[in-house]
Amino acid sequence: AQSVTQLDSHVSVSEGTPVLLRCNYSSSYSPSLFWYVQHPNKGLQLLLKYTSAATLVKGINGFEAEFKKSETSFHLTKPSAHMSDAAEYFCVVTSPGDKLTFGTGTQLKVEL
Amino acid sequence: EAGVAQSPRYKIIEKRQSVAFWCNPISGHATLYWYQQILGQGPKLLIQFQNNGVVDDSQLPKDRFSAERLKGVDSTLKIQPAKLEDSAVYLCASSLNTGGGGTEAFFGQGTRLTVV
């Protein structure tokens, strides 16, 4: 069994300040983890993925995430938020067989 | 590379009517998923195909939902009869599925269904 908990349903930051979106996971297997972003009326786009290689993963648009097994966490960060980062972000865990389990999402708001 | 294609983009039907959605995955992708995303929630897996076989349909409401994957390529998802609570975005995704997990999925833009 596997599950994902996104700890914040809404996060609001000012443009130019750091972003932190929190994700904890539970998995019976060695997990693979993803972050996807969904802009309004757009499809889901992969930001980055962890698949048991380096624990610090860099993705597109300046995002990165760190896999911490001891804390069962995979938090998403970005040093400086941009207005275009406003969107919904989903943390996803997979297992062998590639079943994807989504978190409930975090809505990121970026203010001037 | 062409992405995952879905149609229609939008559909409005009355309750108790039937509706069908179509998905064309990325060429060569063995795994195809259908997800239901209700407003304000994360996507929920309805069914997962591996080629033309079903891997997981444990959350598919089989009394009203059905899905098939023709020749291991295109797929259709049908709802008959629709209920108000079926209003959602239906997302199709595909992946190469290398068998060991960790294969990213590529998503279509979804079909937004409104049941009135």
A7 within domain boundaries? yes
**Residue B41 corresponds to which tokens in the numbers above?**
């929630």
Give A98 to chain B, closest Cα distance, Å. Answer: 5
Give the CATH number of the domain where residue A67 resides. 2.60.40.10
Those residues whose C-beta lies under 8 Å from the C-beta of residue B59, and which sit 6 or more positions away, are B44, B45, B46
Convert the pLDDT of each residue in A94-104 to its tens digit. Answer: 877 778 899 99
DSSP class per residue in B62-108: TTTEEEEEGGGS-EEEEESS--GGG-EEEEEEEE---SSS----EE-
Convert the pLDDT of each residue in A18-31 to its tens digit. Answer: 999 999 999 887 88
pLDDT band at A52 (very low <50, low <70, confident <90, very high): confident
- Rounded CA gap, A6 and A74, in Å? 10
* Inter-chain CB pairs, A–B, below 8 Å: 65
Domain count, chain A: 1
Type and span of the H or E element at A84: none
Judge: B101–A94 Cβ closer than 8 Å, yes or no. yes
Judge: B45–A97 Cβ closer than 8 Å, yes or no. no
Is the omega angle on the peptide bond into residue B81 within 30 degrees of 0, that is, cis? yes
Domain hosting A13: range is 1-32+62-83
Does residue B114 carry a pLDDT above 90? yes
Residue B102: closest CA among chain A residues belongs to which residue?
A: A32
Domains of chain B, CATH where assigned: 5-97+106-115 (2.60.40.10)
Per-residue pLDDT at A59: 95
Determine which of B7-21, B29-43, B76-90 has the lowest per-residue pLDDT on average. Answer: B29-43
A112 within domain boundaries? no
